[in-house]
Structure 1
Amino acid sequence: MTDTKNSARSMVRAALAGLAFSTAIGLSAAHADAITVYTSYEEDEIAAFLDKAKADLPDLDVNVLRLSTGDLHARILAEASNPQHDVIWGWAVTSMIDPRIGELLEAYQPAGIDRIAEQFRDKDGKWFATTGYMAAFCVNNEVLANKNLPMPTSWADLTNPAYKGEVVMPNPASSGTGYLMIASIIQMMGEEKGWQYLKDLDGNIAQYIKSGSRPCNAASEGEFAIGASFALRAIKNIDEGYPITMVIPAEGAGNELEANALMAGSKNKDAAKRFLDWTVSENAVNEYYNWKEIVTAKGGAMPEKFKAAGLPEDIASVMWNMDFAWSAENRGPVLERWQRELER
């Protein structure tokens, strides 16, 4: 989802996964069999996905730059007059639908696009979402027992004074996970009640962390009782043996879809299109299911460890119906207000 959506700027070295992929941006971008990809996928996810891609596309070099959602947004806009990449891969739809970003994209319908329902595609064909992530709480069972705290079941529960200093959550200004939480709360409760809730919740928050996954890791390690994070990090930590319970908020889990797109300024469009075709292939979809709590494509099956951690097979039943257009249009004002009134 390295810490999910964190702002650490890092080149993903596919060689760590035993791959032959080039990792120096621009190194072989002039060749037809090389592309540069910008992404906000996690580094471990990227390595696994590229491992499969390399098996299917052995003659294609993929140079990857991984940045957090917000940092990638800033970089793409800063490079707008001279884009340095061919493909956007696994990036938040809320950011993708920014009109300024849309002007930089070229419509493309990859082979196999029928695997993706129309609701997960741009009406003008400029992007399509293949994966996503959703909010969840990581609750440390041992901390709850030691401090005689109740198990939370909802966002509403987190304002219980008993949790004062025991809750950590992502900073929405830097974390895509953090922003989807704030946006979903305001959408669920309405503007006035939503902001009042966030102020009430702030009274219990120990830290706002720049990363989306670090709050879960901190709770898993017993630093705090509750880490507001995302479902996949909770699932991974449970699978690794941490004494936590994954709680999907009863109001519905805020969520974000991750989309792919072709840059209009790409100088390697044939190669870029081959890669985009691969992102909806059967092998890609099967690998997504190993890593993502939300997969939009038909095919594949939810792993047993996901179910064992408490993720329902009918994932839509626990997802809040996000208004992504609202989230995109209001991102600036929401973050400005959050930073002015709550950031510390």
Structure 2
Amino acid sequence: MTGTARLAATTLAVLTLAGCSLAGGGDQPSSPHTVTLVTHDSWAVDKTLWADFQKTSGITVKVSMNGDAGELTNKLVLTKANPIGDIAYGVDNTFGSRALTAGVFAPYTSPDADQGPQRYQFDDTHRLTAIDVGDVCLNVDTGWYASHNLPAPASYADLTDPRYKDQMVVEDPTRSSPGLAFLLGTVKQFGADGWSGYWTKLKSNGVKVDATWEEAYTQDFSGSSGKGPRPVVVSYASSPADEVGQDGKPRTAALLNTCYRQVEYAGVLSGAKNPDDAKKVLDFLISQRFQQQVPGSMFVYPTRSGVSLPDAWKTAAPLPDAPAQLPAAQVDANRDKWEQQWRTLLQG
């Protein structure tokens, strides 16, 4: 998500949470048809659509937001014996294997899973259903480079060039899902034996590490609302669609040859108090109606086939043709080691 979109999403999520609470506040007893949806801080949905689903289904949905995707996954793992909800949305492919290994999710195949989400099936256990796709890529402030009479960087390698010293900001991969996706992208690009050397060069060239996407994009990146000092940031392929000027042209660009595929999933939690209604909520998340509002609300791509995208996305936010990916088993086996190596390299 982009800066302004993420801030709007957080605000909308708060409104949505309020709209999903039972009348009378948290001290009131829950309805037999109450579902707790555990998600990350970027949860956002069209409020009217969400209210209509609750009215027609008879299900009251309480939304509980729990930080970034990494924080969400860790919390789900730590509470698996006494789950904090009935369904979770927002665990992505960089953390999915951790959740599955811990037994966080229960098997469930939605009747609409064959309408597109199966293209992003995580494994053959059917415990996770793909809801959206948001490829993580380097984004550049094209206007900044034009005003400084400097060609914008176009590749991973360019960011180690002294011409681009002190211009890049990234997210901490041990705390941030886009930060981890970018780290995995460098592993894919430079290999298990070469990625650390690349990061050593980035450090020498003044890369700045922020804790979260919000901090990096909205405070340090020059191309977003914060008008920060750095014209290169790790964000999403869809981010430029939210940076379109009055002339109809995006002020930023995603470097599509630096993208790592990030897929977000939902699943019914093992030990859920209300698994039957949780399944109905999951069905709704991949329905045509919900998927249609995903780009405008959460600035990610829907997984359901045949869902149209906003016109601006066709030119400002095309999906990469060949985003990088690593096998889930390889990520699961090496993630902790790579994170520790990264921490030693960048933070000492």
Same fold (TM over 0.5): yes
Q: Is the 8 A contact 2:37 2:62 kept in 1?
A: yes
Superposed CA offset, 1:167-210 (max 9, x none): 11111111100101111111222112211111111222342111
Where do 1:184-223 residues align within 5 Å?
184-217=185-218, 218-220=221-223, 221-223=227-229
Question: Hey, what does 1:325 align to over in structure 2?
Answer: 329
Cα distance change on mapping 1:299 and 1:163 into 2, 3 Å: same
Residue 29 of structure 1 deviates from its aligned partner by 7.7
**Residues 120, 129 of structure 1: 8 Å contact kept:** yes
What is the alpha-carbon distance in structure 2 between the residues aligned to residue 240 and residue 133 of structure 1? Answer: 25
What is the TM-score with the length of structure 2 in the denominator?
0.85
| Pair 1:89 & 2:106 matched | no
* 2:21 alignment counterpart: 22
1:98-113 paired onto structure 2 within 5 Å: 98=98, 102-113=102-113
How many residues are treated as equivalent by the alignment?
334
User: Is this contact kept in 2: 1:26–1:36, CA < 8 A?
Assistant: no
In the TM superposition, residue 96 of structure 1 has moved relative to its aligned partner by 2.1
Letter in 2 for 1:325: A
In the alignment, does 2:271 pair up with 1:275? no
Please point out which of 239, 244, 253 is paired with 1:238.
244
- What residue ranges of structure 1 are gaps of 5+ in the alignment? none
One-letter amino acid of the counterpart of residue 211, structure 1: T
AA aligned to 1:136 is: C
**Match for residue 161 of structure 2?**
160
1:56 corresponds in structure 2 to 53
* Equivalent in the alignment of 2:264: 258
**Given the superposition, is the C-alpha separation of residues 52 and 149 from structure 1 closer, same or farther in structure 2, using an over 3 Å criterion?**
same
What's the CA shift for 1:99?
Answer: 5.7
Whole-angstrom CA distance in 2 between matches of 1:325 and 1:126: 16
Match of 1:73 in 2: 73
Which whole-Å CA distance do the structure 1 matches of 2:85 and 2:69 have between them?
16
Quote how far apart the aligned CAs of 1:13 are.
6.9
Structure 2, unaligned stretches of length 5 or more? none
Tell whether 2:121 aligns with 1:115. no
Query: Which amino acid in the other structure matches residue 50 of structure 2?
Result: A
Q: What secondary structure does 1:109 align onto?
A: coil
Normalised TM-score (structure 1): 0.86
Q: Give 1:219 shift.
A: 2.2
Match of 2:254 in 1: 247
After superposition, what is the alpha-carbon deviation per residue over 1:107-160, rounded to whole angstroms, capped at 9, x for unaligned?
111231211353422311111112121123332234323433211111111111
Alpha-carbon deviation of 1:87? 0.4
Question: Aligned in 2, Cα 1:81/1:15: closer, same or farther, shift over 3 Å?
Answer: closer
Q: Which residue of 1 is the match for residue 343 of structure 2? A: 339
What CA RMSD, in Å, does the superposition of the two structures yield over aligned residues?
3.1
Cα drift, residue 55 of structure 1: 1.4
Change in 2 beyond 3 A, CA 1:38/1:104: same
| Counterpart selection for 1:296 from 289, 303, 325 | 303
Question: Do the aligned partners of residues 13 and 142 (structure 1) sit closer, same or farther apart at CA in structure 2, a change above 3 Å counting?
Answer: closer
Distance, in Å, in 1 between the alignment partners of 2:250 and 2:142 is: 6
